[in-house]
Amino acid sequence: QVVYQVPLKENHVLKRNVDQQLRIKIIYDRSIEDLLPEKRHLIKNKLFPQAISSLEKTFQVRKSTGTILLSRQCVTNQYLRRKADPHRYCRGACADYTRCGPVVVPEKHLQQCRVCNENEWHCGPTGVPDQEGVRDADFVLYVSALTTERCGHENIIAYAAYCQLEAEMDRPIAGYANLCPNMISTQAQEFVGMLSTVKHEIIHALGFSAGLFAFYRDDDGKPLTTRYADGLPPFNESLGLYQWSSKVVHKAVRLWDVRGGKMLHHAVYLLITPRVVEEARKHFNCPILEGMELENQGGMGTELNHWEKRLLENEAMTGSHTQNRVFSRITLALMEDTGWYKANYSMAEKLDWGRNKGCDFVMKSCKFWIDQKRQKRQLISPYCDTLRSNPLQLTCRQDQRAVAVCNLQKFPKQLPQEYQYFDNLNGVPAEELPYYGGSVEIADYCPFSQEFSWHLSGEFQRSSDCRIIENQPDPTKNYGAEKYGPNSVCLIQKSAFVMEQCRRKLSYPDWGSGCYQVSCSPQGLHVWVKDTVYLCSRSGQVLTVSIQMNGWIHVGNLICPACSDFCDFCPPERDPPASNLTRAAPIDLCSCSSSLVVTLWLLMANLIPLLTGLFLCA
């Protein structure tokens, strides 16, 4: 239950003063204390402090000067308002407890109970007076870790929402974030993803929610949606939301290419507030774009509450976490267009997906894009058309920071006609083509290269993000001589790497890319494989690798990326020097060199005392 039009204790908002940093006060529910110590420490000492710090640096607020005191909920959920009185009155009685989502709000955060009797003749305050409230805060966030019904839904890590809005500007002043206890991961490899999820959920509570669209205001503080006499917008019963105006969300119809040469009408909803339009047009390089498309799939909670996944794949405010979430200028623009915040755009993260792809990318189906690129014999990136198979054919994520695999797969049922994109696929009979699409439904089934993770008996082992040092593979399974860490990137392998030892040869069936350390120099981009450095003189150059590691020879070929992909300053591309073209002298681990013999004798000498000891104790 959301409470609207909550008066602040000093009911005054400085509409012009938008240069004050957002202040978020965290209140931890008792359920946080009941978690295992490592999970409690993660939430209270790392996740939420870091998330709040980042958001407070990103947003400034139209400053409220009053203490936050929340309105009490009513026993019957029926309440009344009196003329010239900012408070709401419960019919009959106030509820024993007031909740914000699943959390019981502390008594000290609540206003005095105000009630009207059954015939509404007598109304007034009752019970304990106004409590102390929450001082020096613009938003109160109640954080819990309760196993709720919603946590039973597949892959739900956390969820959040607003619960009370202030009266003057309709800005949310209280909300909650609930983390599902069984989904809280303390593994270092998953921290960045968990942090992104927490920030994502708090942004929903602060303003990016379909239920708040009707309450957005312009730069002068005027509502973008017409209000009734009671100060609220019209309510849409079918949506269960207050109905926004055409100044906020616009419905459009796209001409949508599908398989068989057909074209359908595809309805979309776009957020069309001024800064969002400006940032979306700049990002896609499409001057006729009406706004930024909202998600049209995923059901309640996802639909309309996120950016369209097909167009902003790894933007943090899309409806699912696939990889490398970033909070882009488009999301910051939306928060500014609420009328409640000013954004610090230096905190925006770079979004590569869709950048400068043009109007055909952002206003047409992915089939149109793929077909156009094929006809021109160009890469179909950011989409892909390689079937996900066993063994895996590995590639790189679009930003070249993770090993990836194309998520094109066969579904058990035919996809809806508007999401059937392929007239042909290598090795797929024509009658089966309607069953094929990308694995992410909310990306309109468009296939793209996606990072992944390795699991053993259902337990997470590591992900394919090159920058996370904990993802380093076990030495016995590091066929490609890979190196994970903050300076590592994904490189394409021209052939499968082979591990050789005497007459033994091992290779890994899943190949195509790997993670390798790189560095920049005046000569160009350097690729490091173990302690050997290779110079990339031009994009597409083949590096012949032969190095010794852990008693094995690792042999393979890597393809150089463009120096400009990773370095700010690069020399002109040129043919590599002859030394870079010749194969390194083969290393022979089977030769009986004197050093090897000495090492073996030393090993035997060290073993003798141990063997003697065993015999004496027999």
Which alpha helices (DSSP H) does 428-505 contain, by range? none
* pLDDT value of position 206: 98
* pLDDT value of position 65: 62
- Residues annotated in a binding site: 200, 204, 306
**79, amino acid identity:** Y
- Residues annotated in a binding site for Zn(2+): 200, 204, 306
Rounded-to-integer distance, Cα 444 and Cα 311, Å: 10
Sheet of 449-451, strands arranged across:
394-396, 403-406, 449-451
Residue 201 annotated to the active site: yes
Phi, psi of 256 (to 5 degrees): -125, 110
Tell me if 466 sits within 8 A of 514, measured CB to CB: no
* pLDDT value of position 592: 39
Tell me if 243 sits within 8 A of 252, measured CB to CB: no
Closest of 251, 175, 170, 168 to residue 216, by C-alpha:
170
Rounded-to-integer distance, Cα 2 and Cα 162, Å: 7
* pLDDT value of position 372: 96
* pLDDT value of position 389: 77
Beta bridge partners of 255: 265
Catalytic residue among 166, 201, 279, 293: 201
Closest of 599, 589, 591 to residue 501, by C-alpha:
589
Per the prediction, the chain carries an average pLDDT of 89
Token pair of 201 as six digits: 């959920």
* pLDDT value of position 579: 57
Phi, psi of 211 (to 5 degrees): -70, -15
The DSSP string of 516-569 is EEEEEETTEEEEEETTEEEEE-STTPEEEEEEEETTEEEEEEEE---GGGT-SS
What are the chain's domains? 3-206 (3.10.170.20), 249-359 (3.90.132.10), 379-451 (2.10.55.10), 466-581 (no CATH)
Q: Which residues of the chain have pLDDT under 50?
A: 11-16, 580-585, 592-618
The CA radius of gyration of the chain, in Å to the nearest whole number, is 30
